[in-house]
Amino acid sequence: MHTGNENNTIGAIPSQDFLDTSLYVNRELSWFCFNQRVLEEALNPDAHPLLERVKFISIFSSNLDEYFMIRVAGIEDQYEAGIQDRTIDGHTPYEQLAKIRSIVLQQLRQRNECFYHDLIPALQREKIEFHKVAELSATQQRALSHYFRKEIFPVLTPLAFDTGHPFPFMSNLSLNLAIELEDEENKALKFARVKVPSILPRLLRLNNIRGFHDDDGIIRFIWIEDLIESNLAHLFPKMRIIQSHLFRLIRDADIEIEEDEAGDLLKTIEQGLRSSRYGKVVRLDISSEMPLSVRKLLIQNLGIAERNMYEIDGTLGLGCLIDLLKIERPDLKDEPFIPYNRFEEESAAHIFSMIKAKDILLYHPYDSFQPVVDFLNQAALDPDVLSIKQTLYRVGSNSPIVEALMNAAEEGKQVAVLVELKARFDEENNIVWARALEDVGVHVVYGLPRLKTHAKLTLIVRREQHKLKRYLHLGTGNYNPVTGKIYTDYSLFTTNEQLANDVAELFNALTGYSKHTGYRKLLVSPINTRKRIIEMIEREAEWMCKEKSGRIIMKMNALVDAQTIRALYSASCAGVRIDLIVRGICCLKPGIVGVSENIRVISIIGRFLEHSRAYYFHNGGKEELFLGSADIMPRNLDDRVEALFPVFDKALIKTVTSDLDLILRDNVKSWEMNSDGNYSLIVNDAQPVNSQALFLSRSSQKKASFKFNVNEL
């Protein structure tokens, strides 16, 4: 596949324009603004039910871990290599690391203040309590000690550190106890480490432990590390426990692959996964009570700088709080909803007949993801279906999508699947699925060298009346029913021949040696996405000059690409009204006089993760709308196979633009970026508009309307 990067020019925009570093937001600091907005969902007592607020503490914490594993690790590499190149906003790697540390410390203080002084007391009022082992009665402590010896002690491995024992290896995200000991016989001081096993639940529910007979309706938890600390004497007989201290490691988890050297990509990924568990340490979380001597020992043996050490009061690693959602307290959670299933409720007709009759657009999770699964299940069993081609990026465990593809192969269909092994943090799942698919005869490929395949495509070929008919599913999100319930994404079902031709050519490029670059309707990265997006931005500026009708709406997860940002600045200077809905990172600054006063940037943080990408251009009344998998980032435009697909049906274009308009009117869950790059929660006197709540209401109305119509019949 030719990259086409030689055509990635800005067109009519002079290259010297908009180069002032003050016009841009630092990519890393913008990410922290996003994670702060996530944290604010927990901080706001009116934002969500109580257990959902706890969930946002968990999401914030897990986001931060992942950020260090990938982004901070990369910046550390730059700094250690002596790279002094400045970012588009003028920061060196060292300056970024210093700002990151300052922000992280501040945010962790906010998180802990919220969790310990707001959420825990609120949970206690709802009869959900956290306890220390030392606070429990003697009878309860004996019951816990018995539980420890039976369920935890057998899987613990104490590791000594002295002249005869090397410093133990510690895996990524491991929670550990550093233990200072004294030999009772010779009074020699010793040091040991005990890993808190990740295979055991971090939060132990006391009500489920034998020996606890509470009948007061209170749900009680302890942290497993507290129980281990309380029973260290069982691990070190004839040793006096001086003190123990918790610490937690975060390592570089980005897998680098020299694909030209990798004859078998599957094995290379597996080896990379093993080595990533022991990548360099990029963050060391320690308890505030840890003495200087132990800190120095860890710093020296882990090979880190003091800037990598973070002193944290309280429990380390709060990502596990997501487990509290398992508590059966629906009154403390979001109200459950059943998404509208258009395929199921409109008729029992053949799915292919429905798609052939007209293009169908679904908006998940308000519209059910089940039709996507049914589409593949029906294709697997339909004797007239000849072949299925699909890309898989993140499918999750127990995937009905993969099961349908395996069934199709067993039914004799030609099934070709691109499994992206380099899908970060989903590599292990994808390796399992790749092997399972190969075992039943599916043609499995792993993508193109040096490019991740992120496009979301399915092509089904069916024989109808002695002719072949192609059916497409094109999406903005992954083929994962679990995330389909919590991520907002679009799904388009169509038989459009022009799109089918382009999708077929793209699959040929992915599975074979095709060097096709002449995509007519699809925008395909790294071939033509940036070029076409910038051309359409510039076209709006031209329409503004001719008819004063320029209008752009873009919804995405991130806006980083400098060339596209400059094109948007130029269009703003021409008077084009531009609305950007950017969930996460945004390096563009709106509202700067003479540069971006016609640009507005908002971010929605709510019950569902805003994941859909939509790019709308008014085009003098001949509206164009593209949906798909690509954000406006260099990695999506240059280093991935992405696909943005046009929506041709005018009614569907109107549906999406109405969705976007509703999001832009949100004044409950919407944050607006100021001209300095910071965000403010939108507060005004207008009628409250919560876009996600209104989409849920619309979904319920669709179901009610269907039932009413059926009853009328």
Q: Provide the annotated active-site residues.
A: 454
Strand duo 609-610 + 613-617: pairing: unpaired
Element (H or E) spanning 67, and its range? helix 50-67
Q: Where are the alpha helices (DSSP H) in 576-670?
A: 634-638, 650-664
CA distances from 327 to 73, 75, 81, 221, 688 (A): 36, 40, 48, 11, 31
Cα first-last separation, the chain: 54
Instruction: List residues bridging with 632 in a β-sheet.
Output: 559
Tell me which DSSP letter residue 483 carries: G
Q: Which of 371, 354, 583, 623 is CA-nearest to residue 475?
A: 371
**Beta strands per DSSP E along 510-639:** 523-525, 551-556, 577-582, 599-604, 609-610, 613-617, 624-628
Q: Which of 421, 426, 502, 400 is CA-nearest to residue 457?
A: 502
Q: What's the rounded Cα separation, in Å, for the pair 57 and 85?
A: 35
* Cβ-proximal residues to 712 (8 Å cutoff; 6+ apart), any chain: none
Q: What's the rounded Cα separation, in Å, for the pair 325 and 52?
A: 8
Instruction: List residues bridging with 392 in a β-sheet.
Output: 419
Q: What's the rounded Cα separation, in Å, for the pair 230 and 654?
A: 63
Q: What's the rounded Cα separation, in Å, for the pair 598 and 576?
A: 7
Q: Which of 213, 208, 229, 202 is CA-nearest to residue 140?
A: 213
Q: What's the rounded Cα separation, in Å, for the pair 400 and 382?
A: 17
The b/e string for 72-92 (b: 16+ C-beta within 10 A; e otherwise) is bbebbebbeeeeeeebbbebb
Tell me which DSSP letter residue 24 carries: B
CA 614 centroid distance within chain? 18
455, 391 Cβ separation under 8 angstroms: yes
Q: What's the rounded Cα separation, in Å, for the pair 618 and 512?
A: 37
CA 677 centroid distance within chain? 23
The b/e string for 180-189 (b: 16+ C-beta within 10 A; e otherwise) is bbeeeeeeee
Q: What's the rounded Cα separation, in Å, for the pair 426 and 409?
A: 24
460, 584 Cβ separation under 8 angstroms: no
Q: What's the rounded Cα separation, in Å, for the pair 128 and 591?
A: 46
Which burial class, exposed, middle or buried, applies to 693 when counting CB atoms under 10 A from its CB (0-12, 13-18, 19+)?
A: middle
Q: Where are the alpha helices (DSSP H) in 394-440?
A: 400-410, 427-439
488, 471 Cβ separation under 8 angstroms: no
What phi, psi does 346 have (nearest 5°)? -75, -40
Q: Which of 166, 147, 167 is CA-nearest to residue 227?
A: 147
